[in-house]
């Protein structure tokens, strides 16, 4: 039987990463009401940007991570401006378009990179010893950076003018418009933010697992469970949901069966939708 | 139209039958005469544009064809190669096989990496009655079909690698010969859950324990596994000396995580991605100190043909091939030899020549197939005289990686070295 403390460390670090992915996903849904099925693929774009920056261009991994953040954010914004903006009131069309985009991105990487996984350097190599167990420095950095970004985001949303405007748009588009908030611009900001967070998450995920064209699928499916469990549109809910799902997944894989990876979170998704569809911290939509 | 063609006509439906009927005109001529037109070889390769396994198949078939053509062809006929992408998908593979046999009317099909794809082609091969030399998929289920119904499946051969039952046997042979000196007294077996690994797991189960090796963990993990941390926690917790692995599709994630996490155990076994000569660079050296079985390496002089082939491939393509390349090269050359001996491209006449041939290839002094009465008829023979894989360890020399052979002894360039963190 594996040491519980080791499992807890694994769970905490992977949850920190899931939180980054899920917050972006929930921001777009909470503010714009758009279900972005290409969110996982944007994570893949971030990972391969870092891979190309380090392997083909010979840049350092930190530069690669910065490039991943920018490229993923820009791609996300272009996706919104070029495609989603025109159809955002048609939820089925949005789902189909983002799903198709996701598949197209995967196929792009199959053609350009191939089906074999690629290694991405760790942002901080080496190991730390914490409470008698050894932890990868890269994992510890993921945890710290995740909280820095989450903290920064919470502060930005609650205390800056733009953040408040985003929050207002998420509550009521009409009300926000009445006080002069341009909802389209707020949507663009959320897509930019979500893309940047997914890009960073992609680099971390690739740096300790490898980058592959399918790497975004798992986090996307987990994001559904996390966001529904935490409450759609709630950043706080996404963080709590990410940790609950992260722990559930790691403990299931460690103590039940490694082949059950991903199944536990889907069971949670179904149960929450049936029993408490608004999630832990969700709210009813204020307008239809 | 002859009886064979008529049966095919009836079996494949009107649309396909119309095409088959068109084929009948040219193929039903007396095959004892000179070869009728060029020899067409169809290669079924996964992602030949960017997957080294598929690229090695496609490029090696082309290299073999070029060498044959440069030497006057086969019985005066040119050899042409057509490549189709299976995308490692059984349905796509079947469609591409139909395109090659019905559309392109090839005389031979070769390639195929994934066992799931190869198994899905077996009925089509029987129906088309076009010779097929498998050069990548290892499941013994395919040759078991030949044993069950020879007349129906006799068109199918496996030139390599040895089937997965023998791959497992080879892992046991390697363990018996080397584990003591490597310090691997206890190992955790980790096998990805795909068709090709099932016979290997069976061959390993119990055999290592009988050889005095402790096996506290014996795990078949899910095919889509990306996160190896929980699995490695288990392995580390069991306190074993090494993870003895059977991996193709999930291998890169596994070896990268092993190296990055500096897990306190060695890593080796059958690891298909690590067989690629350029692998070191693509994983930033994460495969250093890891061990894998392989059919051949560019520098290993298994036969007098091995190194010249690897160098010719490198010259033509700018990089060295992976094992599927060596085998495909041998398959095409062996087929050409069989056609010469038969004086015909007709499958019925080429098959007996292949069955009785002992061919010196790039991977073995004697590439031979098991006979009709064997458990695996038409499978390449396993053994020291026949196909006998090499084992290599990835080492770093002057900042870049090299595949150093550690077994068999006559080909070894170094001894196994334990990772410094173990």
Encode burial over B88-119: b for 16+ CB neighbours within 10 A, e otherwise: bbbebbbebbbebbbebbbbbbbbbbbbbbbb
**Taking residues A125-131, what's their average pLDDT?**
81
Main-chain dihedrals φ then ψ at residue B275, nearest 5 degrees? -75, -20
* Closest partner CB to B230 (pick from A113, A209, A253): A253
pTM of the model: 0.82
Q: Model confidence at A104, in pLDDT bands (50, 70, 90)? A: very high
pLDDT, tens only, B4-50? 444 444 444 434 333 333 343 334 334 444 688 999 999 999 989 88
CB contact under 8 A, B253 and A254: no
CB contact under 8 A, A258 and B233: no
Q: Model confidence at A2, in pLDDT bands (50, 70, 90)? A: low
Of residues B336 and A113, more confidence is placed in B336
* Closest partner CB to B222 (pick from A116, A254, A259): A259
Joined together, the tokens standing for residue B83 give 């490549």
pLDDT, tens only, A160-197? 999 899 888 888 888 888 888 888 899 999 999 999 99
pLDDT at B17: 37
**Taking residues A4-21, what's their average pLDDT?**
88
- pLDDT surpasses 70 at A283: no
Q: Model confidence at A286, in pLDDT bands (50, 70, 90)? A: very low
Residues of chain A contacting B54 with CB distance shorter than 8 Å: none
Q: Is the dihedral of CA A99, A105, A108, A112 positive or negative?
A: negative
CB contact under 8 A, B257 and A209: yes
Question: Does the CB of A114 have a partner CB in chain B at under 8 Å?
Answer: yes
Question: Does the CB of A161 have a partner CB in chain B at under 8 Å?
Answer: no
Question: Does the CB of A111 have a partner CB in chain B at under 8 Å?
Answer: yes
pLDDT at B167: 95
pLDDT at B294: 94
Residues of chain A contacting B273 with CB distance shorter than 8 Å: 116
SS3 labels along chain B: CCHHHHHHHHHCHHHHHHHHHHHHHHHCCCCCCCCCCCEEEEEEECCCCCCHHHHHHHHHHHHHHHHHHHCCCECCECEEEEEEECCCCHHHHHHHHHHHHHHCCCCEEEECCCHHHHHHHHHHHHHHCCEEEECCCCCCHHHHHHHHCHHHHCCEEECCCCCHHHHHHHHHHHHHHHHHHHCCCEEEEEEECCHHHHHHHHHHCCHHHHCCCEEEEEEEECCCCCCCHHHHHHHHHCCCCEEEEEECCCHHHHHHHHHHCCCCCEEEEEECHHHCCCHHHHCCCCCCCCEEEECCCCCCCCCCCHHHHHHHHHHHHCCCCCHHHHHHHHHHHHHHHHHHHHCCCCHHHHHHHHHCCCECCCCCCCECECCCCCCCCCEECECCCCECCEEEEEEEECCEEEEEEEECHHHCCCCCCCCCCC
pLDDT, tens only, B158-207? 999 999 999 999 999 999 999 999 999 999 999 999 888 999 998 898 89
| DSSP per position, A209-234 | H-B-TTTTHHHHHHHHHHHHHH-TT-
A contact residues 1-60, partner B, Cβ 8 Å cutoff: 1-3, 6-7, 10, 14, 55
B5-10, Cβ contacts within 8 angstroms, sequence gap of 24 or more: B8/B127, B8/B128, B8/B129
Q: Is the dihedral of CA A45, A49, A50, A52 positive or negative?
A: positive
Burial of residue A62, with CB atoms counted within 10 A of its CB: 0-12 exposed, 13-18 middle, 19 or more buried = middle
* CA terminus-to-terminus distance, chain A: 51
CA atoms within 13 A on the CB side of A226: 37
CB pairs under 8 A between A and B: 92
- Minimal C-alpha gap between B259 and chain A (Å): 10
CB contact under 8 A, A119 and B230: no
- pLDDT surpasses 80 at A21: yes
CB contact under 8 A, B283 and A119: yes
Residues of chain A contacting B262 with CB distance shorter than 8 Å: 127
Asked whether the beta carbons of B215 and B185 are under 8 A apart, the reply is no
CB contact under 8 A, B284 and A121: yes
Q: Quick one: what percent of chain B has pLDDT higher than 90?
A: 79
Q: Cα separations (Å) of A90 from A32, A43, B342?
A: 12, 25, 67
A274 DSSP assignment: H
pLDDT at B196: 86
* Closest partner CB to A261 (pick from B193, B222, B233): B222
- Minimal C-alpha gap between A2 and chain B (Å): 6
CB contact under 8 A, B230 and A136: no
Interface test with A, best of B256, B394, B421 (most A CBs within 10 A): B256
- Minimal C-alpha gap between B223 and chain A (Å): 8
pLDDT at B25: 37
Average pLDDT, chain A: 88
Enumerate chain B positions whose Cβ falls within 8 A of a Cβ in A. Answer: 46-47, 49-52, 88, 193, 219, 221-222, 224-227, 229-231, 233-234, 237, 252-253, 256-257, 260-262, 273, 281-284, 286
Question: Which residue numbers in chain B have pLDDT < 70?
Answer: 1-34
Interface test with A, best of B216, B230, B231, B271 (most A CBs within 10 A): B230
Sheet with B186-192, side-by-side order of all strands: B214-221, B186-192, B242-247, B266-271, B291-294, B390-397, B400-407
CB contact under 8 A, A210 and B256: yes
Query: Among B74, B120, B69, which residue's Cα sits nearest to residue B98?
Result: B120
Q: Model confidence at A31, in pLDDT bands (50, 70, 90)? A: confident
Interface test with B, best of A109, A114, A216 (most B CBs within 10 A): A114
């Amino acid at each position: 039987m594996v040491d519980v403390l080791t499992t807890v460390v694994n769970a905490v670090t992977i949850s920190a990463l899931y939180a980054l992915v899920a917050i972006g996903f929930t921001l777009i849904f909470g503010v714009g009401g758009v279900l972005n099925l290409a969110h996982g693929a944007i994570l893949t774009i971030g990972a391969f940007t870092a891979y190309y920056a380090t392997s083909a261009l010979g840049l350092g991994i930190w530069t690669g991570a910065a490039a991943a953040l920018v490229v993923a954010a820009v791609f996300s914004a272009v996706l919104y401006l070029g495609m989603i903006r025109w159809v955002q009131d048609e939820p089925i069309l949005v789902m189909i378009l983002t799903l198709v985009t996701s598949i197209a991105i995967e196929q792009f990487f199959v053609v350009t990179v191939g089906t074999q996984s690629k290694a991405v350097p760790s942002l901080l190599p080496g190991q730390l010893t914490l409470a008698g167990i050894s932890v990868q420095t890269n994992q510890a950095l993921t945890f710290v950076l995740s909280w820095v970004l989450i903290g920064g985001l919470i502060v930005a949303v609650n205390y800056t003018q733009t953040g408040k405007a985003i929050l207002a748009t998420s509550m009521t588009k009409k009300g926000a418009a009445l006080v002069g908030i341009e909802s389209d611009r707020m949507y663009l900001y959320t897509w930019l933010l979500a893309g940047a967070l997914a890009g960073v998450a992609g680099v971390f995920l690739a740096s300790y697992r490898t980058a592959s064209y399918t790497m975004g699928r798992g986090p996307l499916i987990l994001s559904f469970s996390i966001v529904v469990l935490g409450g759609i549109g709630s950043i706080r809910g996404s963080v709590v949901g990410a940790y609950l799902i992260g722990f559930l997944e790691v403990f299931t894989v460690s103590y039940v069966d490694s082949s059950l990876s991903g199944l536990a979170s889907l069971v949670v998704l179904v149960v929450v939708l049936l029993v408490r569809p608004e999630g832990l911290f969700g709210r009813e939509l204020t307008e239809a | 139209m002859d009886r064979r063609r008529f049966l095919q006509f009836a079996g494949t439906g009107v649309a396909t039958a119309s095409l088959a009927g068109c084929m009948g005109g040219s193929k039903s001529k007396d095959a004892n005469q000179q070869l009728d037109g060029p020899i067409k070889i169809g290669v079924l390769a996964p992602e030949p544009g960017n997957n080294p396994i598929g690229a090695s198949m496609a490029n090696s078939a082309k290299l073999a064809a070029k060498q044959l053509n440069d030497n006057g062809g086969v019985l005066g006929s040119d050899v042409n190669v057509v490549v189709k992408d299976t995308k490692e998908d059984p349905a796509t593979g079947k469609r591409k096989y139909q395109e090659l046999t019905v559309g392109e009317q090839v005389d031979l099909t070769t390639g195929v990496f994934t066992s799931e794809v190869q198994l899905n082609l077996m009925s089509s091969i029987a129906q088309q009655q076009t010779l097929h030399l498998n050069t990548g998929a290892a499941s013994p289920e395919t040759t078991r079909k030949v044993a069950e119904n020879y007349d129906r499946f006799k068109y199918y051969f496996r030139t390599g690698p040895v089937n997965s039952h023998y791959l497992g046997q080879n892992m046991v042979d390697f363990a018996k010969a080397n584990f003591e000196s490597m310090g691997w007294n206890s190992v955790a077996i980790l096998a990805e859950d795909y068709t090709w690994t099932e016979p290997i797991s069976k061959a390993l189960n119990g055999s290592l324990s009988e050889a005095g090796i402790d096996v506290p963990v014996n795990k078949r993990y899910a095919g889509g596994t990306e996160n190896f941390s929980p699995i490695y926690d288990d392995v580390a917790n069991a306190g074993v000396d090494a993870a003895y692995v059977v991996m193709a599709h999930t291998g890169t994630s596994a070896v990268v995580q092993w190296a990055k996490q500096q897990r306190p155990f060695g890593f080796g076994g059958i690891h298909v991605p690590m067989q690629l000569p350029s692998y070191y660079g693509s994983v930033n050296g994460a495969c250093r100190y890891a061990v894998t079985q392989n059919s051949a390496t560019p520098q290993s002089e298994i036969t007098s043909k091995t190194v010249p082939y690897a160098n010719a491939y490198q010259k033509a393509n700018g990089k060295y091939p992976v094992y599927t390349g060596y085998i495909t090269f041998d398959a095409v050359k062996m087929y050409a030899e069989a056609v010469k001996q038969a004086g015909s491209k007709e499958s019925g006449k080429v098959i007996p020549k292949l069955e009785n041939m002992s061919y010196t290839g790039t991977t073995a002094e004697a590439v031979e197939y098991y006979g009709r009465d064997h458990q695996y008829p038409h499978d390449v023979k396993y053994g020291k005289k026949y196909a006998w894989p090499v084992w290599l360890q990835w080492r770093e020399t002057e900042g870049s990686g090299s595949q150093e052979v550690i077994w068999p002894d006559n080909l070894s360039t170094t001894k196994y070295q334990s990772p410094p963190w173990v």
